Structure 1
Amino acid sequence: MNSKHRLTRSSRRIFTGVLGGIAEYFGISVALVRIIFVILTIYPGHILFGLLVYLLLTVLIPEDSGTTHHSTFWGPGQQSRSRKELHDVTEEDADKK
């Protein structure tokens, strides 16, 4: 195992990348980690505790600094698009033809 391999939030994320980062760290399927998390959160009836743990992990696990974000929830690359700026724009009335 690489000695510089550390736990970070994944850039391939749905919300914050916590579960994706855990899956990448242990080398297992992201879907499996998400299913286990949902089952452990809902089954015992501690949904609030599961959400608090998720938020705590979001704060404690650092961001992956190597790549841009690719959200699988919004589609690939939607969050990484930059805004376009318009310069020297003039406005004309459509009624004056």
Structure 2
Amino acid sequence: MNSKRRLTRSSKRILTGVLGGIAAYFGISATLVRVIFVILTIYPGHILFGLLVYLLLTVLIPEDSGTMHHSTFWGAGQQSRSRKELHDVTEEDTDKK
């Protein structure tokens, strides 16, 4: 097996893709990882710690190499847009004097 697993933030993200990337790395459901993270974060006294860990992971885990980012929480998200090319364009004067 030549391909190495690499921990990256997922391109199928809700916020930053950290939990989706962790789920993809371990081969489990992203929903399960998100639910476990929320339960551990809202545990009494751990909300601030959970948010700090999430922000730290966002900074430390690199982006996925894919260029398309889908965000179901914040809307359309970041999408790479390709340039459109025009073909067979003709120019005509619309002002007739």
Q: Which TM-score band (shorter chain)?
A: 0.7 to 0.9
Max Rg structure:
2
1:35 aligns with 35
Q: Which aligned segments of 4 or more residues in structure 1 are displaced greater than 6 angstroms?
A: none
Percent identity of equivalent pairs: 84
CA RMSD of aligned residues (A): 1.8
Alignment of 1:6 onto 2:9: no
Per-residue displacement from partner, 1:29-51 (whole Å, max 9, x unpaired)?
A: 11100000011111142100000
1:65 aligns with 65
Could you tell me which runs of 5 or more consecutive residues in structure 1 were left unpaired when the two chains were aligned.
83-97
Could you tell me which runs of 5 or more consecutive residues in structure 2 were left unpaired when the two chains were aligned.
82-97
TM-score (norm 1): 0.73
CA deviation after TM superposition for structure 1 residue 70, in Å: 0.9
TM-score (norm 2): 0.73
Per-residue displacement from partner, 1:74-97 (whole Å, max 9, x unpaired)?
A: 45xx22175xxxxxxxxxxxxxxx
Between the two proteins, the alignment pairs up a number of residues equal to 80
Per-residue displacement from partner, 1:58-86 (whole Å, max 9, x unpaired)?
A: 000000012310112245xx22175xxxx
1:21 aligns with 21
1:90 aligns with none
